Amino acid sequence: MTATHDTVPFAEAIAAFDPVLGLETHVELGTASKMFCGCPTMFGGAANTHVCPVCLGLPGSLPVVNRTAVESTIRMGLALNCRIAEWCRFARKNYFYPDMPKDYQVSQYDEPLCFDGYLDVTVETPDGPREFRVEIERVHMEEDTGKLTHAGGATGRIHGADYSLVDYNRAGIPLIEIVTKPIVGAGALAPQVARAYVTELRDLMRALGVSDVRMEEGSLRCDVNVSLSRPGEPWGTRSETKNVNSLRSVERAVLSEIERQAAVLRDGGRVIQETRHFHEDTGRSTPGRSKEQAEDYRYFPEPDLVPVAPPRDWVEQLRATLPEPPAARRARLRAEWGISDHEFQTLVNAGALDLVEQTIAAGVDSAAARKWWTGELARTANDRGVELAALGVTPQHIKRLEELVGAGSLSDSLARQVLEGIIAGEGDVDEVVTSRGLAVVSDDAALLEAIDAALAEQPDVADKIRGGKVQAAGAIVGAVMKATRGQADAAKVRALLLERLGVSE
């Protein structure tokens, strides 16, 4: 169903209305086993092979809480500056759906494990960076559902399908939900704030080591809530947009929803509380099937599980395991490396931050490390449409390259060829150098041979040089470089040539 939305252009919409955002993210934990049972969580097993009576919800089965999942949640809460509950319970969220083996989901309701926190994010504006504090309402634990595939329809989606198939491998994997308090005052920056928040959250989860947080794989999911109101008036009705599967989509979903709701309100209409489905290809959302009334989940405390009451000393132990927050780390590195905000941002945008830090840690000079990662390698990654980290080049490779360049056995251009070889999977630095024969030719005798050969080919140039036109040496140097397939040190060739001809610079 294609949507024909009337929309108000963003600038106009934002001039008339104040947006209020709410972001709900779900993080799939990278624990070895599921939230309530010992089934493996690893991605990609054959359908219905990572299941047991508990995660299948077989009659008589009972859940038992994964301690590591609780630890991860507490660490996430601490990293988000939350308070950690002294005592909390799980609750049952009751509704019928075929991907839910028990037809209820074990979650947390009015007693989340972590609450009242915040995450500071920075948004780039034409006037410079602006900080926003996104307040966190809660961080709580729940279990993931099974996976549905829909058969018989044209699109593979639910609508029009004849029947569906369920794989419960994913059912029971620990899912941590992070809910923001309403985000107000972002105004025109709302889309970027949303994106910056999810990005920062993702980086934080990675730094904590609790999840892969890959949106494209579903280990980080985001639902975007947006409402508009005229300045000074009460908040409007919010819509919820799902199927937001990338950082870029987060930004676009907020933007498009502001534009859409502005059009509805401008025409005197009412924004409906609904769940919408985002489409990557159009950058717009379409309405889901509208529900007449909000679902009644009949929450009550989960009787099969006992309360979670983390002792304060356990919480402090976990606090001590927190890594440096990404924002603080970035500020520290920027200061240590003494580079401009802009240069730093380029580095971050290229996905090179970790790699540069690791390369410097391996002993490479800061400027050299940055040069390689943000220059040649970033270009290559971009051309190939892959992430920097996926090229197969490691900080150790860079270190070795720099060693060889420093020792004079490789020139910069030869080093680039070595990198090509590494990326092509031909081996490590030394292996590629050997197999491709990329060593700098530094043997004077060999170079003189090549110089003589070049001179013999271009006798008139030789005369010019002898006659004082030193610049003409370039042609001979070029010929020698060609003959040595770029493996000669050009400066050295030039020096030898001049010496040979008895000419000084």
Partner 1 sequence: MGLIGADLVRQDAATLARAMAEGEVSSEEVTRAHLDRIGEVDDRVHAFLQLLSTEALDAARDIDRRRAAGEQLGPLAGVPIAVKDVLTMTGVPTTCGSRVLEGWRPPYDSTVVERLRAGGLVILGKTNMDEFAMGSSTEHSAYGPTHNPWDLERIPGGSGGGSAAALAAFEAPLAIGTDTGGSIRQPAAVTGTVGVKPTYGGVSRYGLVALASSLDQAGPCARTVKDTALLHAAIAGHDPRDSTSIQAPVPDVVAAADEADVRGMRIGLVRELRGEGYQAGVSQRFDEAVAILTDLGAEVVEVSCPHFEYALAAYYLILPSEASSNLARFDGMRYGLRMGDDGARSVEEVMSLTREAGFGAEVKRRIMIGTYALSSGYYDAYYGSAQKVRTLITRDFEAAFAQVDVLVSPTAPTTAFRIGDKVDDPLAMYLNDIATIPVNLAGNAAMSLPVGLAPEDGLPVGLQIMAPPMADDRLYRVGAALEAALVDRWGHLLIEEVPAL
Partner 2 sequence: MTSLTRADVEHLARLARLQLAPEELDHYAGQLDVILQSVARVSEVAADDIPPTSHPIPMANVFRDDVVRPGVRRDDIAAAAPAWEDDRFRVPRILDEE
Binding site for partner 2 (CB under 8 A): 31-33, 37-40, 46-53, 55-56, 64-70, 87, 89, 95-99, 148-152, 158, 161-168, 275, 277, 288-289, 291, 296, 298, 300-301, 303, 305-310
CB of 161 to partner 2, least distance (A): 6
Q: Are 102 and 142 in contact (CB under 8 A)?
A: no
Which listed option, partner 1, partner 2, none, makes contact with residue 182 (CB within 5 to 8 Å by class)? Answer: none
Interaction partner, residue 60 (partner 1, partner 2, none; CB < 5-8 Å by kind)? partner 1
Q: Which of 25, 98, 29, 103 is nearest to 65 (CA)?
A: 29
Closer CB to partner 2, 41 or 227, in the complex: 41
Nearer residue to partner 1 within complex by CB, 165 or 389: 165
The listed partner (partner 1, partner 2, none) that binds 22, CB under 5 to 8 Å by sort, is: none
CB of 45 to partner 2, least distance (A): 10
Q: Return the number of the residue (306 or 407) whose C-beta is nearest partner 1.
A: 306
Paired tokens of 123: 């948004």
Nearest distance from C-beta of residue 186 to partner 2, angstroms: 29
Find which of partner 1, partner 2, none residue 19 binds, CB within 5 to 8 Å per kind: none
Residue ranges binding partner 1 (CB under 8 A) = 53, 56-65, 92, 94, 96, 98, 101-104, 162-164, 166, 296, 298-300, 303-306
Give the residue with the Cβ less far from partner 2, 145 or 487. Answer: 145
Q: 91 has which bridge partners?
A: 107, 301
By a kind-dependent CB cut-off of 5 to 8 A, residue 439 interacts, out of partner 2, partner 1, none, with: none
Is 182 exposed, middle or buried, given 0-12, 13-18 or 19+ CB atoms closer than 10 A? middle
Q: Which is nearer to partner 2, 10 or 43 (CB)?
A: 43
Output the smallest distance, CB 51 to partner 2, in A. 5
Report in angstroms how near the CB of residue 39 gets to partner 1 at its nearest.
13
Encode 134-170 in three state secondary structure.
EEEEEEEEEECCCEEEEECCCCCCCCCCCEEEEEHHH
Dihedral angle of Cα 11, 16, 18, 19, to the nearest 10 degrees: -50
Shortest reach from residue 77's CB to partner 1, in Å: 22
3-state secondary structure of 23: strand
| 92 contact choice in partner 1, partner 2, none (CB below 5 to 8 Å, kind-dependent) | partner 1
* Nearest in space to 107 (alpha carbons), one of 135, 144, 80, 81: 144
Strands 239-244 and 275-279: parallel
Name the maximum alpha-carbon separation found in the chain: 100
89 binds, among partner 2, partner 1, none (CB under 5 to 8 A by kind): partner 2
Compute the least distance from the CB of residue 256 to partner 2, in Å: 19
CB of 102 to partner 1, least distance (A): 5
Least distance between partner 1 and beta carbon 151 (Å): 12
CB of 64 vs partner 1, minimal distance in Å? 5
CA 487 – CA 208 distance, rounded (Å)? 45
- For residue 74, give the nearest of 421, 289, 321 by alpha carbon: 321
**Nearer of residues 27 and 393 to partner 2, judged by Cβ:** 27
* Closest to partner 2 by CB, 183 or 315: 315
Give the nearest distance from C-beta 88 to partner 2 in angstroms.
Answer: 10
Contacting residues for 342 by C-beta, under 8 A, at least 6 apart? none
Decide whether 74 or 404 has the Cβ nearer to partner 2.
Answer: 74
The distance of closest approach from Cβ of residue 53 to partner 2 in the complex, given in angstroms and rounded to an integer, is 6
Is 168 or 197 the residue whose CB approaches partner 2 more closely?
A: 168
Q: Which is nearer to partner 2, 286 or 358 (CB)?
A: 286
CB nearer partner 1, residue 10 or residue 109: 109
For residue 279, what are the CA distances in angstroms to 44, 48, 147, 222, 293?
25, 29, 20, 14, 25
Residue 102's binding partner, choosing from partner 1, partner 2, none, with beta-carbon cut-off 5 to 8 A by kind?
partner 1
What does 57 bind: partner 1, partner 2, none (CB cut-off 5 to 8 Å by kind)? partner 1
Residue-by-residue DSSP string for 303-327: TTS--B---HHHHHHHHHTPPPPHH
CA–chain centroid gap for 102, Å, is: 34
Edge to edge, the sheet with strand 18-28 lists 83-84, 114-125, 128-143, 174-180, 18-28, 220-229, 239-244, 275-279, 284-287
Give the residue from 30, 196, 180, 191 showing the smallest Cα distance to 129: 196
Could you tell which of partner 2, partner 1, none binds residue 338, using a CB distance below 5 to 8 A set by kind?
Answer: none
How far apart (Å, rounded) are the C-alpha atoms in residues 127 and 124? 8
Compare residues 61 and 245 and give the one whose CB is closer to partner 1: 61
Tokens of 489: 């040190």
Which of partner 1, partner 2, none does residue 67 bind to, with CB < 5 to 8 Å depending on kind? partner 2
Instruction: Show the DSSP H helices in 307-443 as ranges.
Output: 312-320, 326-337, 341-349, 353-361, 366-372, 378-384, 395-406, 412-423, 429-436
Q: What, of partner 1, partner 2, none, does residue 47 touch, CB below 5 to 8 Å by kind?
A: partner 2
Please say whether the beta carbons of 37 and 55 come within 8 A.
yes
